[in-house]
Amino acid sequence: MLLWSLLGRLPNAMSPIGTLLLVSHNTGSVWAGSLVAGALAGGQAIGGPVVGRLADRRGQRTVGLVAALVNAAALVALVAASEGGLALGWQVASAALTGLSVPLVGPLSRSRWVRLAEGEGELTAAVLALDGIVDEVSFTAGPALVGVLAGAASPAAGLLTAAVLSGVCATLFALHPTAVPGVPAPDHPRTRSAERLLSPPYVLLLAGMALLGACFGSVQVGVTATTEALGRPGTAGLLYGFMGCTSALAGVATASLPVRWGLPPRLRTSAALLFAASCLLSFAGGSVVTLAAAVGLLGVFVAPQFLTMFGLVERTVPAARLGEAMAALVSALILAQSAGTFLAGWAADHFTPGAPFAVTAAAAAAAALTACTATEHRYRRRSTPPASTQPEAAAPEAAAPEATALGAAEPETADHGSR
């Protein structure tokens, strides 16, 4: 599962930059490439929660399989439309379908690990940290792989490789025995109320994730603008990748934090440190070395905040809608990252190359203020509705969810080991 989870996430990381390179190359217009890439991002933001909800209700196996195959076909259609010189509208439509059909390997993987951890705090934190590292690796390796394939073959090679990975690896992830079965929508009013997704704690987590996305987008623009002003534009990708490396290492360290240090205080601490690190970026533009140090320090505090928010979602939303909740968090991050990129680009054009880092600091400050609302009382674990109010159709899955997820014949003998 770990292998298919990693490889199945790569298309999601490869598609945005691959689309931008392909369309810009074939049309000779960066604006056209940005428009098509924006359609893909918009499709991801809208389609993610929809696919997550369907997976929660109808099961990850069926929904994941359909999404993987449609996503692979949409990527091939996008390449064909661009290489064939079709009207820009066809390319936008193909990109939007690519985003709408994203297989959601990341969010669904997190919901699987949470389920297998059986509510054990230390084990849940560990598996979410490991899954966060897989995320970091995929989103660092994906763009790099597209760049290598574009240089060695053509811009189309990156998206075609993403189509193969989606059609094969995301399919194998969907068919893996750990796939979570669906839970039908409840008929009982009391159960429907218990499964309500939106609540003040969850909305605050959505806001926090969106602000983190704005940090990502503005840092990317700031690093690009600053390295270009320093006469070293080729180092921008390396510096952003370095931030991913330090974040991944911090994710490993997060798993070793003591359980007695609860998630709410952990979120407050990491958000405050992220804000402090973001303030240093504005003073680090004198050289590539100082910029690398500041960006690397920022990455250290990204993973703890990112992973802690996913951990709080697990205890905030009903288990039957965990996949949808995880997907909505990712959608919030994607939308805000696009907004942060736009705002930071405007700041770089109208002020100085380091101006985008002011956007980063402002978003980090807002994230820290949002994190201040995180308390143990607000984020206490949700209780499961009484068995008498559960829908009869979901009773077999509710009785032995771990056995179903693991494909074990007998729930009492299933091995629920950690990742």
Phi, psi of 301 (to 5 degrees): -100, 0
Mean pLDDT along residues 36-64: 86
* Helix axes 288-300 and 263-281, enclosed angle (nearest 10): 170
Q: What is the pLDDT of residue 319?
A: 75
- Beta-carbon count within 10 A of 416 CB: 16
* Residue 414 pLDDT greater than 50, yes or no: no
H or E segment at 33?
A: helix 30-58
* Residue 247 pLDDT greater than 60, yes or no: yes
Phi, psi of 254 (to 5 degrees): -60, -35
**Amino acid in the structure at residue 176:** H
In angstroms, the CA 243 to CA 122 distance is: 26
375 pLDDT band, cuts 50/70/90, is low
Q: Could you tell me which residue, 111 or 11, shows the higher pLDDT?
A: 11
* Residue 363 pLDDT greater than 90, yes or no: yes
**Highest mean pLDDT, choosing among 55-69, 72-86, 102-116, 208-222:** 72-86
CATH topology of domain 197-381: Growth Hormone; Chain: A; (1.20.1250)
* Residue 194 pLDDT greater than 70, yes or no: no
394 pLDDT band, cuts 50/70/90, is very low
Mean pLDDT along residues 128-143: 79
Least confident of 271-275, 314-318, 406-410: 406-410
Q: What is the pLDDT of residue 234?
A: 67
Q: What is the pLDDT of residue 392?
A: 38
How many whole angstroms from its chain centre is CA 320?
20
* Residue 382 pLDDT greater than 70, yes or no: no
Q: What is the pLDDT of residue 251?
A: 79
Quote the tokens at residue 419.
């990742």
Q: What is the pLDDT of residue 176?
A: 92
In angstroms, the CA 157 to CA 149 distance is: 6
Mean pLDDT along residues 259-272: 86
Residue recorded with tokens 């965990």: 322
CA separation (Å) from 215 to 20, 208, 235, 301, 340?
21, 11, 20, 12, 7
416 pLDDT band, cuts 50/70/90, is very low
Q: What is the pLDDT of residue 361?
A: 95
Per DSSP, 400 falls in state: S
- Structural domain 1-183, CATH architecture: Up-down Bundle (1.20)
* Residue 115 pLDDT greater than 60, yes or no: yes
In angstroms, the CA 43 to CA 37 distance is: 10
CA angle 139, 154, 25 (to 5 degrees): 90
* Residue 403 pLDDT greater than 60, yes or no: no
Q: What is the pLDDT of residue 389?
A: 38
* Residue 158 pLDDT greater than 80, yes or no: yes
Q: What is the pLDDT of residue 274?
A: 95
H or E segment at 369?
A: helix 356-371
Q: What is the pLDDT of residue 377?
A: 57
CB distance 5 to 64 below 8 Å: no
* Residue 379 pLDDT greater than 70, yes or no: no
Q: What is the pLDDT of residue 56?
A: 81
Q: Could you tell me which residue, 379 or 139, shows the higher pLDDT?
A: 139
Name the segment(s) of the chain with CATH classification 1.20.1250.20: 1-183, 197-381
Q: What is the pLDDT of residue 30?
A: 66
Work out the mean pLDDT of the chain and round it to a whole number.
80
CA separation (Å) from 367 to 203, 209, 213?
13, 8, 10
Q: What is the pLDDT of residue 264?
A: 86
* Residue 405 pLDDT greater than 90, yes or no: no
Dihedral over alpha carbons 366, 368, 373, 375 (to 10 degrees)? 160
* Residue 314 pLDDT greater than 80, yes or no: no
Mean pLDDT along residues 371-392: 55
Mean pLDDT along residues 243-251: 83
Q: What is the pLDDT of residue 328?
A: 86
CB distance 82 to 26 below 8 Å: yes
Least confident of 31-45, 66-80, 127-141, 180-194: 180-194
412 pLDDT band, cuts 50/70/90, is very low
CA angle 45, 23, 229 (to 5 degrees): 85
